[in-house]
Structure 1
Amino acid sequence: MSIASFFKLVEIQTKVASVIPLSLGTIYAVYHFHHFNLKNFIFMLVSLLTFDMATTAINNYIDYKKAIKKEGYGYELHNAIVRDNLSEFSVLLAIFILVGIALISGIFLFLNTNVVILLLGAISFFVGICYSFGPIPISRMPLGEIFSGLFMGFVIPFISIYIHVFNQEILTLILRGHVLTFHIDIVEVFYIFLVSLPAVIGIANIMFANNICDMEEDIQNARYTLPIYIGKDLSLKLFAFSYAFLYLDIILLVVLKVESILSLIVLITALPVRKNIQTFLKRQDKKDTFILAVKNFILINFIRVITLIVASIINL
């Protein structure tokens, strides 16, 4: 398998959906808690990227194995296994290597923190595998947007924060004899959820846009996603309306003084985002307009990361 084929198999261009939540959580840990652990950050980065690549490869492999309609809809072009005539052995080997690296990095991360990371990591691994694999993968159900949004948009930032402040009792599990003690700082976890919400919505909308574009193909291949259940008209309205909650959340974060007033700079993205939404509402195409959901996610959350970095530097 060539490097180009491998990158196509894991859809390397989509890994920004993992890097941005990781960056958001890391910068928030520096801004809000004034802590940064380089070793834990590296373990987290390696584990996250390799597992994200593995789940994408699994998803492409399952699509290849379960495809009913194998011509048209760009199937011959957007599936690397078909386009590059990859052997099943090479694809499975790549998947096992990626999962192995992710597991080893995750174990080192757990050894450097505590059992909370072990549990959150195990749950994330389980959901990630079930997303693409099993009798009824999550990606083939109307729950895909919820799981992808919450786990990539919230759980990743939460873990990215926690690995730097695991000893500050934001979330702890302690086993003494037969007694398991659970402690959670509800306020801090709620703040982290609010900080993560723009990423949650952005990532969910990437999958939502993808599923809206693929409705005809998904029906042919027995993938019953959310747009198929609620219809295209309602899906498009929900897609557009969800961005309003994103901007309201940013305003709320500033009002609550969780984030600096600099975060309001993100509101200027409303104009290009609105333009992208209107373009997508007119035409839903995997080749030309799906990318607008990705652009919206990157634009909004990249500027959020930058404003948090600046706020951390000047300590607003």
Structure 2
Amino acid sequence: MKPKVFLEFVEIKSLIASVLPFVLGSMYAYYNYHQLHLGYLLLFFIASSLFHMATNANDNYQDFLHAPRNDDNQEFLQETNVVGVNQISIGQARTITFGLAGISLIIGLWLVTQTGLPLLWMGLYSYAVGYFYAGGPKPISQGPFGEFFSGFTMGFMIFWIAVFINTYDTAAITWQSTLAVLIASGLAIFAISNIMLANNICDMDEDIALGRHTILYYLGKPVMLQVFAWSYVAGYACLVIAVLMGVLPKFSLLTLLSIIPVWKNTRVFLHKQVKRETFKISIKNATLICLSFIVFMSLGLIFN
């Protein structure tokens, strides 16, 4: 397989959706606990990145494998799905998927032996979501909860695991500390879940033709467009609450400046939802929000 095809198959461009929460979680740990375990952190970064690629690969080949073989879906099978376009064999797709996931799993299990069982339970949840997102008899991505699981797993779980790996030897996991992490990661959760939501909004007709009953099928496009817009508001509200709680530096509030370009981009998407033209707006917004968060949180760490 050519490198270009491989990178397209694992959707390497989407990797930023897991990298940003990883960075934010590490910064959160340093701000609140004043320590980092850089070696473990690097291994977790490698493991999470490999598993993200494995999940993307699994999504692509499962979509191709289970798509109805009829005239209505020939365009999807031959011109849209990366497996069909590049004539990737199912055997080759599975080898890449399970190979990436296997290496990630080995690294993750070793980290469990060094940091403790909480990482095992976090990892089991993440791996289960990663597989059942597109695999199994009733894939998550084909139901109404895809947005929740993608945003929660990537925006919160990666953030939380990064915090745990850096603090496993000094801080116990409590309901209070978990709630604080959840609120602090809210901005990332909603921004990432909106990527999935934008994808489903753009693909609504195609999804229905393929038998996928996403949240759009139940609530309709007008309602979910409003959810798309208000999700950003909810994320910014989480940021403000986290600063008031004292778990994020006050400089983080400067992230609110990103509201201006984010709202401008959102208005464009609300006006037009075309996959090849406006879906990328959700990725731009998520990147803009999280990078702004990282920059201004960094200032908070420097001048705290």
Measured against the shorter chain, the TM-score band is over 0.9
Given the alignment, which residue of 104, 117, 120 partners 1:118? 120
Distance 1:93 1:259 in 2: 42
Counterpart of 1:312 in structure 2 is 301
The one-letter code of the counterpart of 2:165 is I
State the one-letter code of the partner of 1:57. A
- TM-score normalised according to structure 2 size: 0.96
Partners of 1:31 and 1:120 lie apart in 2 by 22
Q: Partners in 2 of 1:190 and 1:77 — Cα distance?
A: 44
SS in 2 for 1:222: coil
RMSD (Å) for aligned C-alpha atoms: 1.3
Alignment of 1:5-16 (within 5 A): 5-16=5-16
Q: Is the 8 A contact 1:9 1:79 kept in 2?
A: no
Whether 1:222 and 2:211 are equivalent positions in the alignment is: yes
- Alignment partner of 1:80 out of 82, 91, 98: 82
Aligned to 2:154: 152
Q: Which runs of 5+ in 1 are unaligned?
A: 172-183
Which of 210, 217, 234 lines up with 2:199 in the alignment?
210
Matches of residues 13-52 of structure 1 in structure 2 within 5 Å? Answer: 13-52=13-52
Uncovered stretches (5+) of structure 2, i.e. residues with no partner: none
Q: TM-score, normalised by structure 1?
A: 0.92
**Compared CA separation, residues 169 and 259, structure 1 to 2 (3 A):** closer
- 2:257 and 2:80 map into 1 onto residues whose CA distance is 34
Contact 1:43–1:108 (CA under 8 A) maintained in structure 2:
no
Partner of 2:276, secondary structure, is: coil
Q: Which has the higher helix share?
A: 2
Are 1:266 and 1:304, in contact at CA under 8 Å, matched by a contact in 2? yes
Residue 180 of structure 1 corresponds to which residue in structure 2? none
Match of 1:233 in 2: 222
Shift of 1:237: 0.8
Aligned 1:1-316 pairs, distance under 5 A: 1-68=1-68, 69-72=72-75, 76-171=78-173, 184=174, 186-314=175-303, 316=304
Instruction: State the shift of 1:79 in Å.
Output: 1.9
Contact 2:189/2:235 (8 A) holds in 1: no
The question of whether the paired residues in 1 share the 8 Å contact of 2:202 and 2:274 is answered with yes
Q: Please identify, of 304-313 and 232-241, the stretch whose mean Cα deviation from structure 2 is larger.
A: 304-313
Letter matched to residue 125 of structure 1: Y
- Counterpart AA for 1:143: F
Cα distance per residue 1:222-277 (max 9 Å; x no partner): 11101111001101011111111112222222222222221111111111111111
